[in-house]
Chains A and B, each alone.
Chain A
Amino acid sequence: MEKTMNKLIRVIGLGIVGLFSTLLVANSVFANEVNVFSARHYDSDVQLYEKFTAKTGIKVNVVSGKDKALQKRIKEEGKDSKADIYITADAGRLGAFQAEGMFQKGASSAALKKVVPANFRSPYWVGIAKRARIIYYNPKTVNPSWNMSYEDLADPKYKGRVVIRKSSNIYNQSLVASLIKNNGEKKTAAWAKGMVNNFARKPTGNDRAQILAVAAGEADWAVANTYYLALMLSGKKGAEQQAAAKKVMPFFPNQDGRGTHMNISGGGILKHAPNKANAVKLLEFLLTPEAQQHIVNNTFEYPMIPGVEANKLIAQFGLDFKQDLKTKVSNYGKLQAKALKVMNEAGW
């Protein structure tokens, strides 16, 4: 009896000691650190942070998670938040978070202004890498004319031959937001209806699944981001998908108009950042040639700064295509809700 009780007390004691020691570890303050909240999950980003630490001695702490949940946590933590930098994919998300007043100025330091194109930064956030949302096609069955556009995909002659993922996807929302910005809501609504009529199947799967659907002959046309094709070509997804990717050709649309839809991964410094100076250093580091090279070779995005070459798996399809630099990426966030509404009303 006494024994049981003693055991119990010992176990409880151990638990409490364990709890407090983890509490201490979890909350220990490193004098020289920077804390990152990231909705990008790449392991290669973590390797990059390790390089940064090796170089500067500044420790990088990371929490990754779903975009909106991380934002909620930052907002609720308020001035007690330890987060310095928030990194996410999609300019719309960055813009929306800025609009809520969660970023402070300073992300685009003088050094960064020199290298990052004006369309891909604001005083509150800065782009880290670029991606294009493009058309893929099956070269055995179709052949796009050089000036084919996103708008053309709604043409009734492609009935039952187009695949794209769901409307809930943020990349689609940004693409449609840019269409609304350029063509107006009414025209875009008609376009969305045309797209839905052309669907080869109910939208399902991620971007890579759309490219695979073209490879498998389920559709002739797909819309997906550039880096997915490179990911398959790299062999990281196995030999079968590597072979499948070779059956599909990428196509950069809207070349005789505004150019191909571009989006970014980017980051900003948070309003209550406790380590602002280190945060600026980290952002500057992410835009050095060394870091950019690491990013493009691992995630297959396009580099943000001049002088760095995209990975050859993506560069082989051409780097001199016309990018849509006219539509400010900061518009995406403002029009995403409208874009979602337009798509939903079309039954997307």
Chain B
Amino acid sequence: MIKRINFWVIFAFLVPLLVAIPIFTVFLSFFDTTGNYLDLLKDTFLLKYLSNSFLILLGVLSLTFIFGVTSAYFVSFYKFPGVNFFKWALILSFAVPAYIYAYSLVAFFENYGTAFSILTYLFGEGDYNKNIPKFDGLIGSMFSISFSLFGYVYVLTRASFVFQSHNLIEVGKNLGLSSYESFFKIILPSARPAIVVGLSLVAMETLSDFGTVDFFSISTLTTAIYNAWISFDDLTTANQLSFVLLFFILLLFILENLSRKGAKYHQNSKGNKPIPKIQLVGGKSILATCFCSILFFCSFVFPVSQMTYWTIKFPKYFQDINFWSLNMNTLLLVFLSSLFLIIFSFMTNYGNRVSKNKLISYLSTFSVSGYALPGIILAVAFITFISWFSDFLSSIFGFNSFKNVFIGSVVGLVIAYFVRFFSLSYNGIKSGYSKINNSIDENAYLLGYSKLKTFSTIHLPYLKTNILLVGVLIALEIIKELPITLILRPFNFETFATKAYSYAAQDLLEAAAFPSLCLIIWASIFILFISKYILSEK
């Protein structure tokens, strides 16, 4: 037993513990009764906040389900004009963060907005404002979040369709079902685990959204926690609300985990032969092409066009931007964070593998729920914890304060990202590891390989693709990340996301266009880089 307590195991224990700290902080740092925000909430808007969160969640889940599953169904089983293009083009929606989508939506549909300009250009002067549909903030949030997140459902559902051992449409035909019946009776149930995983990811991201609902001034559970904690200094209420939120999230998390197990079972197909696709003709083929085109247009072309239009229309604004430093800052954060995340995820995974300790395994599972903690809450929890810990060490051991090392520094940012995205990275590496049989390790040890050597010569090369995938997923998240960066960044430090936010905050969405566009371009490059792995049919 003692032999097993080594470097790797210690890692597997310490890293998840570190990651879990902010989650504990959210629960534990609020014990005083400090304010009366809850009374105000109860009397007036607690119900509204809850119902807003619930409505947005419901809307987003319905929309992402329809968008994701339908497009995955078309693309996986049929041939129609443009199918090979849509297959990868639809995942470009990942490049557009929901808050930038929201900027585009408002800019286009507002009175005298872009839609008005287009109509004026086409048909001359006129009173078009009345005919342009107006978005309520709630509806606007639903659409913005749905278009930027449906990709999760699309990618996972598609993968599940592709890895079926039989062509399910053929199966349906043999049973005498219409294509409509076989969709609902065979295809949909077969992909259920994958769909549930996709939807729970969507749900977690939706509940933790801050940028979009803040832009539309929609109050949700997350903004209520933020207000209770920060505006009203009412820690008790923040605690109670956080508890409700975390409870929801934990539920989703468990659901996701259970479904992942189910999904694995279904993916255990024997052959790796791609399923022959059915050629669509006539109206059906037009329908499929139209659906995918509209989805691609709405989710990617529309926001990109709006941002490009502004960038060209208001060239003055990009002179004000320090382009190189924005690139350098964004890439620096991406590089450092992915580096540390990948290294530590490896060590934790490997530690788990060699120790086979239940406690460590549970701790890892618990710590990855950091992903579900809204970024803005995590950032505040981080500041609170560092401040408390530094004061604590100073008072007991007379240490010098180290707050400045962690708050308002790149180090702090990287650590906060680490906590937020450890789940992504840990699970990504884990899914690769689960494919390497344990007997390979045993054989390596028998050949006299050390643990380090087994790791570096056997595991590392085998997991190359996984590393690439995980690295890019982290990069995407960090490029788009807003609330953590905003709160924890050093002096004079901007990323594309903070720059865009800052212009939006001064009501100059026109100026936010250029940094938004750069952000989308960077994210798209990363997506295209890995699209062939995400979409692999082998």
Chain A positions within 8 Å of B, measured between CB atoms, are 1, 4-5, 8, 11-12, 15, 18-19, 22-23, 26-27, 35, 40-43, 61-66, 68-73, 76-80, 82, 165-166, 168-169, 201-202, 204-209, 212-213, 215-218, 228, 231, 236-238, 240-241, 243-244, 337, 340-341, 344-345
Contacts and interface: CB of A to CB of B under 8 A. Distances in A.
B407 A76 contact: yes
B461 interface: yes
Contact of A202 (B136, B391, B507): B136
Contacts of A243: 112
6 contacts: A8-B456, A15-B336, A69-B379, A73-B487, A78-B391, A344-B40
Closest 8 CB pairs of A and B: A61-B491, A216-B129, A344-B44, A212-B111, A76-B387, A216-B111, A68-B230, A26-B490
Contact of A76 (B384, B460, B505): B384
Contact of A337 (B40, B106, B490): B40
Given A23-B409, A63-B490, 9 more contacts: A4-B460, A15-B340, A43-B511, A62-B491, A62-B492, A69-B379, A218-B111, A337-B40, A341-B40
A216 B336 contact: no
Contacts of B227: 68
Interface of B: 40, 43-45, 106, 110-113, 116-117, 120, 127, 129-130, 134, 136-137, 216-217, 219, 226-227, 229-232, 313-314, 320, 332, 335-336, 339-340, 343, 376, 379-380, 383-384, 386-387, 390-391, 401, 403-405, 407-411, 414, 453, 456-457, 460-461, 486-493, 502-503, 505-508, 510-511
Contact of B339 (A15, A212, A217): A15
A69 B380 contact: yes
A62 B414 CA distance: 20
Nearest to A96: B231
A12 B344 CA distance: 12
Given A4-B460, A18-B332, A238 B313 contact: yes
A62 B498 CA distance: 13
A230 B134 CA distance: 24
Given A12-B343, A168-B219, A212-B110, A238 B510 contact: yes
B137 A204 contact: yes
Contact of B487 (A12, A41, A65, A231): A65
Contacts of B405: 23, 27
B95 to A, nearest CB: 25
A77 B216 CA distance: 31
Contact of B403 (A72, A77, A337): A77
Contacts of A165: 217
Given A23-B409, A26-B410, A66-B486, A344 B45 contact: yes
Nearest to B456: A5
A237 B116 CA distance: 14
Contacts of A344: 40, 43-45
Given A77-B403, A209-B111, A237-B510, A19 B414 contact: yes
Most chain A CB inside 10 Å of its own CB: which residue of B40, B44, B386, B401: B44
B339 A12 contact: yes
Contact of A1 (B110, B232, B457, B487): B457
B130 A216 contact: yes
